[in-house]
Structure formats: C-alpha cells, structure tokens
Amino acid sequence: MRPETRAAYGFLSPWVIGFLGLTLGPVIATFVMSFSDYDVLSSTQWVGAENYRDALDDPHAHAALKNTFFYTALYVPLSIGIALGLALLLQSAGRLKGVFRTVIYLPVVTPPVATGVLFLQLLNGQTGLINNVLGTFALPTPNWTTDPMWIKPGIVIMSLWSVGSVTLILFAALAEVPAHLREAALVDGAGAWRRFYHITLPMISPAIFFSVVVNTIASLQLFSEVYTMYFGATTTPPPEEALFYVVYLFEQAFRDFEMGYAAALSWLLFLIIMAITAVQLVVSRRLVHYRSD
Amino acid sequence: MRARSLRVLGCVAAISLATAACGGVGDDTAGGDGSEVSFGGETTGGDGKAGGSDNEINVTGSMTTLGFSVEDEIAKARVAEVKQAYPDLDLKVTSGAFDEQQFLSAVAAGKPPSAVYLPRSELGTYAAKGALLPLDDCIEAQGIDMSLYRESAVSQVTYDGQIYGIPEFNSVRLVLANSNALQDAGLSPDDIDVSDWDGVMAASKQLYQTGGSGIQRIGFDPKIPEFFPLWVAAAGGELVSEDGQTAYLDSPEAVEALTYTVSLVDANGGWSDFKTFRDTWDFFGDNNQFVADQLGAFPMEDWYLDVLADVSPNAPVTAMPFKDREGNLLTYATGQAWSVPKGSNNPTAACAFAATMTSTDAWMAAAEASKADRKKSGGAYLGTWTANKEADERIFAEVYEPSGIESLDQAVKVLQSLQDSAIVDPPSPAAAEVKKAWEDAVLRALQGDQSPEEALQQAQKEATEAIADAQ
C-alpha cells in the first residue's frame, strides 16, 4: 500500500469508525422499526408497509414536505448567490481579508437555538430590525413570524445568517483559479463579466456543485432553528407553514411516540434526498467543469 | 465520470443515512407489576406522621425523583420535611422539568425514577399506557385523606376509577385589567364583566388603540388558544367528557366560544398584527404590558401576580374573577401531581414521599419559608396555592398577611374566591393529541383558514381518532 493511500485511510478512519460504531446500528434499527408499530412502552408489532402507506396518505406529512421543498428551492440558490457575492468581495478585500473572513464566518458558530431566538426578535413585524430597515427604504414590512404567507420567507432570511461556511468554500475555490487564464482573457479584450462567466465560474463550478448538494441536504433536514422559533416553549401552537419535514418526524417520534411511523418518515426522507441528489449529479455533468491537470 | 458519480452518490447515501435516520431502539421489558407492588405499612421505622397515617411504615433504602427541582424555598422546605420524617431514606432529586422522552425511555428500559412529578393534565395518558401505578393502596397505607384535596384536582388524577397521583400545586385563572387604561377610556372594572360577552366586546373596542407602527394597545385579549377550555365552559360546554373518553370539540358551545373569541381578536387588529404586537411585550420585565399601557385586560394564570409583585408591584392592575355567561364564578385550574411509575425501585418510599410533600404540615412549612424569603428580598408574599384545601385554609389564616399593596391584596381575595369554581382538563388517554387538535383548530380559525365550525369539526375527527387509537 502506498504511503498516500495509508494516509488517506488514516484520515478517513475516525469518520468510518464513528459511522460503523455509532450510526450504522441505529440506521439498521430504524429500517426494521419502520415496518413495525412501536410506542416505547408496548411490545413491537410487525405491520409490514403500513407506516409507508400511512405517510403517503398523511396530509400533515404532505404539508411538511411542501414547506420543506419551498424552503429548499428558495434558500439554496439564494445562499449560493449571496455566498458567491461575498466571496468575490472578500477576494478584493486586500489586507483586511482575514478580518472580513472571520466576521463573515462568525454567525456560523452561533448555536442554532440562539439563532432562532434572536431572529424571533429581528423578524418581529412591528419592532424588528429587519422591518425597520425595510421601512426606511419604503419597502413592504410584513409580519414575518405571524402572517402565514411570510413565515417561510422569514425562515429563509434567518438561514442566510449562516451563509459564511459556503462563502469560505467558494473563497477558497476562487483562490485556486489560475491567474494566467484571466490575464489571457484580459489580453484578448474580455470584460469583467465575460472573464467571470467564461473563466471564473467554470473553474469554481465543482465547489458550487458541492455547496448545492450539501446545502440541499441540510435544507431538507432543517430542524433546530425552526423548532426553537415555533415549536419550543410557546403557548401558541405553531402555524402549519412552519411545519418542516424533520420537525414533523421529530414530533411523531418524541411527542406522539409513533416510533415506527417516524422511522418510516425518516427512510422516505432518505429516499427523497437520494433522488434529488441523483438528479443533481446528472445535471452536473453538463454544468460542472472538472480540471484535468 | 460514471465512476466518480457513483462514488459521490455513495458518499451522499452514507451521509444521508447517517443524518436522516432518527430514533433509537427500546424494548418492552418495563419492569415492575402493579399487582405485586407494596406501598408499605406492614413493618416498622419512620414516624409516618407527615402522611397522616397512624401506621408505622418502614421507609428506607434509596429513591429518585424526576421532573422536580429543589430550587426555591417552597421546594426546599418540603424536601426538608421528608428528610426529617424519614432520616434513613437516601433521597436523590434529579433537577429539571418533567421530560416525557426521558420518563418513557426510563420506564421502557426498566429503570424508572422511584417517583415522578408531572402535569396532572398528562397523567391520564400515562395511566392508560400502563406507565404509572394506581395509588389506592398507597393512599390507604399512608392514610392520606383525599377529601382534603380539591375535587377538581382529584378528578384529574383519577383514571378509570383509580387514583394515579397525589395532587400538588394548583394554579387558577383570573382576569387582570389595566386600571389606567380603563380610566382613560371612561370605563370601570364592571365594564369588563366577562359574563357579558357583548359588554366585553364593546369595552375592548374602546380600549383598543392603534398608532403609526401598528397596534398600540390591545383592548381585551381572550388568551386563546391556551384558555379556550375556559371560554367553552363559560358558554356551558366542555371539550372532553369527565372520563376523558369522548371529545365534544365541535359542540354548539365550543363553536359559540370560538366564534366569539376569534371576533374579539379580529376586533383588535386580527391575528397576525395582534400576535406580532403581543410578541413585543416585556412580559416578565418592569416595562410589562400594564406599565407600558399596551393591554386593556386579559385572563391570566395566578402566578403572574408574583411576577408583577417582583418587577412592578405598583403596576396599575385590577383583578377580577372570570365568570360564565350566567354570572357564576368560573376558573380553569392546572397543576402537578406526584405519581409512582411502573417499575419504581422503592414504591413504599415514593408513596411516603408524595404523601409528605403534599401534606398540610409540609405546605405550612413551605409557606412560612416562602414568606420569609420574600420578606428578605423585599417582595410581597401573595400566598401559596395548593391542591390541598386544608393547607390553603391554614396558609391564608396563619401565614399570609396583606402586603399593603392594594391591587395585589385585592387580587389575592379574587383568587381565594375562585378556588372551588375550577374546571380542569379531564384525564384522557390521548390528552396531548386532543389538546393539539383543539389548539390547531383555534389557530386555523384565528388565521382565517377555516370557519370556527369547520375548524372544530376537523378537530373533533382528529380527537376522536386519537382517543380510539389510545385505547
């Protein structure tokens, strides 16, 4: 075995050991559980595919999935676009690059629960900072947290708070774009936009694709911030617009103790993620440029 | 390219599996069998007096609790009573609020706490699931006189004819009005008589104020969804039958109550603006909605008086009783209870502990300690409200003294008048699901997604199915 291969296995081993030792068992258990009726206290009963059939007929699961897709479709392109814009700005930040990089990444380390609580205040329709800013520019100031139409966009705004991690990935990718390619294009008379569109964008397309895949998966699994905002210690029941798929799955498991049903929901989510990722892979063949050097 | 794609897909599959999967494996080996449980009474040791029994009960060994914290003087004084009564008992109180997942997982694993402190409204569900032991033998062994406890509280801990919990605190609702706002609007407290729904609506409209940034003052907040059962009772109905087995969520009384309370919210700006404004209140601070003149009146839990006493004792508050439409006093009570889980390692100690913690002597010691603590911190002592009638009578006869703050002293009198007029959530095998059904229905009606009738019809269907599934 080559030293590089040994090193690769060495670096991979912590994750592999963790996955085999801590995750694989529960994964297999949930798969078995998804074919059973299990409420923690009573004995488990085999119900075949009933949980999966129930999920397909469950209007709350449909609503949760619809909300999750809406959020993902809005958040992923917005987060990539904003992250790319910030990464380009960072690139031209000169000596202060390091400071700005830290500032942009800082929100990512904020605990999700704190983020949820913070944004309940920031998004308040009457006194929140976001509406104060919008109002200054005579823009509409919706009730982000109480108007059903604006709840999901409000959650997207909250999620954009942690766009720093994607920004850093794209910033690193931008740094890898060979300068001679841009210089050659400049000599050939290409403007800034053409250099960005025909050289920079293709060169960083693998990083963008990676970010799209990872962000899509994370969006489909959104939980902590939304749960804190709408499902935590509150006397008002959460609006259906805030019911995301993993929140519904969690409530089925740990509020209603429908463990078998929740396990089926988790496996359905897994299949959905796999299908979406497969589509993204197929589409990426046309759009992603891998360097051959 | 294909190989790379497959590798990436494989990695994604692994990551997704690791993150999408949820839940863990339990087993059905919950230990203990109610039929073999002894709550003591046959051996010697301990004085057993705190529980009211003349028997000598051997309370030794170790015991643990779940859902209870020894953080305030009321808890500390009562735990001290237990330790004094049973010096040979090794008591471990696990701090923290009741956690359903933690509790059921512990029961399923056969390692439950010896005693559990839980909301009375949820007790029926756990009794129906077989997670709790009936306490009739415990009550007999400890000589607990259940007639001393408030009827509404006892009914809440009684499931299928057996008692599963010893009631503890008792919290009731009253109406709190903003005296300054009433005066400004040319109204008197009599204009907020909740037995007159038209009158309350008219007063609410007079008290309601808007300004540049939206609502500036809510006239009357009906506090729905959480107090919806109170409004239904005021209309002469009930959401669930006394035995908890039948839902009446779409009864004419429930529809009437929902229609009226939604109209109150609509008259105060509609749900979206109403809640947005309410979320801006400094509810627990010294610039709360009474001080900041942001509210006309609302029904509220009694504990909020302690908050006001702490942060703004001179807030312009007038307390009034809630009433039904006939003008009778009415309130909605909630509280906790001590229960013994199936598989408890020391049911004798757990029973003795529950009896002592809720005994009149323990409550008296707690009230004295709380009063002293409030005096030390400069706050007003507004009494200690329990489900033990005898304890309450003695506390208000022997410990409580008016604070000298007129609004708070008047509120205490209102609370005393309401204690025996309480409705409670009956012990249901599907309490959480039934509550969620009517809460969601109220929200749909508030948001205008459905009419009150449609919303409650859907809720009725959901609740009926949940109760059937739980049996």
pLDDT tens-place string over residues B306-330: 999 999 999 999 999 999 999 999 9
Q: Considering only residues B207 and B470, tell me which one the structure prediction assigns the higher pLDDT.
A: B207
Cα(B236)–Cα(B252) distance, integer angstroms? 10
Domain of A273 in residue numbering reads as 50-287
Give the model confidence (pLDDT) of B338-397 as tens digits: 999 999 999 999 999 999 999 999 999 999 999 999 999 888 999 999 999 999 999 999
Query: B254 by DSSP, 3-state: which?
Result: helix
Q: Which residue has the higher pLDDT, B302 or B19?
A: B302
Checking ipTM against 0.90, whether it exceeds it is no
Q: How far is B105 from chain A (nearest CA, A)?
A: 7
How much is the pLDDT for B108?
83
Average pLDDT over residues B423-429: 93
Is A273–B275 a contact, with Cβ atoms under 8 angstroms apart?
no
* Rounded average pLDDT over B249-257: 98
Is there a contact between B452 and B262 (Cβ–Cβ < 8 Å)?
A: yes
- The predicted structure's pLDDT at residue B75: 95
Given a cut of 50, whether residue B12 has pLDDT beyond it is no
Neighbours of B267 (CB within 10 A): 17
Residues 6+ apart with CB under 8 A from B272: A125, A143, A146, A147, B447
pLDDT attached to residue A293: 57
pLDDT of B1 higher than 60 = no
Residue type, B175: V
pLDDT of B284 over the 60 cut: yes
Q: Is B29 on the interface with A (CB under 8 A)?
A: no
β-strand pairing of B336-339 with B166-167: antiparallel
Distance from CA of A40 to the nearest CA of B (A): 6
Residues of A in contact with B12 (CB under 8 A): 213, 217, 273-274, 277
On the question of a common fold for B34-171+335-366 and B173-332+423-470, the answer reads yes
For residues B118 and B124, give the distance between their C-alpha atoms in angstroms, rounded to a whole number: 11
A125 in a domain, yes or no? Answer: yes
**What percent of chain B is modeled with pLDDT above 70?**
89
Interface contact B449-A148, CB threshold 8 A: yes
Q: Of B14, B83, B100, nearest to B46 (Cα)?
A: B83
Report the alpha-carbon distance of residue A254 to residue A267 in Å, rounded: 17
Domain layout of chain B by residue ranges: 34-171+335-366, 173-332+423-470
Q: How far is A178 from chain B (nearest CA, A)?
A: 24
Cα–Cα distance, A143 to A141 (Å, whole number): 7
Percent of chain B topping pLDDT 90: 80
CATH 3.40.630.10 assigned to domain B34-171+335-366? The reply is no
Residue A256 within a domain: yes
Domain count across chain A: 1
B278-317: buried (b, 16+ CB within 10 Å) or exposed (e) per residue?
A: bbbbeeeeeebbbbbebbbbbbbbbebbbbbbebbbebbb
Residues from chain A that touch B15, judged by Cβ atoms under 8 A, are: 217
Please name the residues in contact with B343: beta carbons below 8 A apart, sequence gap of 6 or more: B30, B31, B32, B107, B110, B111, B112
Q: Which fold has domain B173-332+423-470?
A: D-Maltodextrin-Binding Protein; domain 2 (3.40.190)
Confidence at residue A1, expressed as pLDDT on a 0 to 100 scale: 81
CB-CB under 8 Å, A145 with B276: yes
- Domain membership flag for residue A3: no
Angle at B288 between CA B284 and CA B289, to 5 degrees: 130
DSSP secondary structure letter of residue A238? P
- In this complex, the residue of B8, B22, B104 whose CB is nearest that of residue A257 is B104
For residues A263 and A33, give the distance between their C-alpha atoms in angstroms, rounded to a whole number: 6
pLDDT band at B156 (very low <50, low <70, confident <90, very high): very high
Say yes or no for a CB contact (<8 Å) between A41 and B130.
Answer: yes
pLDDT at B400: 96
Tell me if chain A has a CB within 8 Å of the CB of B5. yes
Measured between CA atoms, the residue of chain B closest to residue A234 is: B226
A24 in any annotated domain:
no
> Which pLDDT score is estimated for A250?
94
| B100 close to A (CB below 8 A) | yes
Cα dihedral sign for B229, B232, B236, B240?
Answer: negative
Specify if A148 maps to a domain. Answer: yes
Cβ–Cβ pairs < 8 A, chains A and B: 142
Inform me whether the pLDDT recorded for B13 exceeds 50: no
Asked whether residue B48 carries a pLDDT value surpassing 60, the answer given is no
Instruction: Write the burial class of residue A37 (CB in 10 Å: 0-12 exposed, 13-18 middle, 19+ buried).
Output: middle
Is A23 in Cβ contact with B214 (below 8 Å)?
Answer: no
- Which residues from chain A sit within 8 angstroms of residue B433, using beta carbons? 256
User: Does B1 contact chain A (CB < 8 Å)?
Assistant: yes
Q: Which of B279, B298, B342, B471 to mutate to test the interface with A (most CBs of A within 10 A)?
A: B279
- CB contact (8 A) between residue A221 and residue B5: no
Give the mutation candidate from A41, A46, A57, A289 for the B interface (greatest B CB count, under 10 A): A41
CA distances, B23 to each of B265, B387, B433, B448 (Å): 40, 38, 20, 36
CATH number, residue A187: 1.10.3720.10
Q: Do B5 and A40 touch (CB under 8 A)?
A: no
Q: Which residues of B touch A17 (CB under 8 A)?
A: none
Where chain A has pLDDT below 70, the residues are: 233, 292-293
Question: What distance in Å separates the CA atoms of residue B134 and residue A140, rounded to the nearest whole number?
Answer: 59
Residue A143 in domain: yes
Tell whether A246 is covered by a domain.
yes
pLDDT over 90 at B112, yes or no: yes
- DSSP reduced 3-state for A240: helix
Q: Do A285 and B1 make contact, defined as CB atoms within 8 angstroms? A: yes
Residue of A nearest to B437 (CA): A237
Interface of B with A in 178-217 (CB under 8 A): 213-215
C-alpha separations of B451 from B250, B255, B435 in Å: 12, 9, 19
Which residues in B lie closer than 8 A to residue A281 (C-beta atoms)? 5, 8-9
* Neighbour-count burial of B14, counting CB atoms closer than 10 A to its CB (0-12 exposed, 13-18 middle, 19+ buried): middle
pLDDT at B94 > cutoff 90: no
| Best of B15, B17, B27 to mutate (most A CBs within 10 Å, chain A) | B17
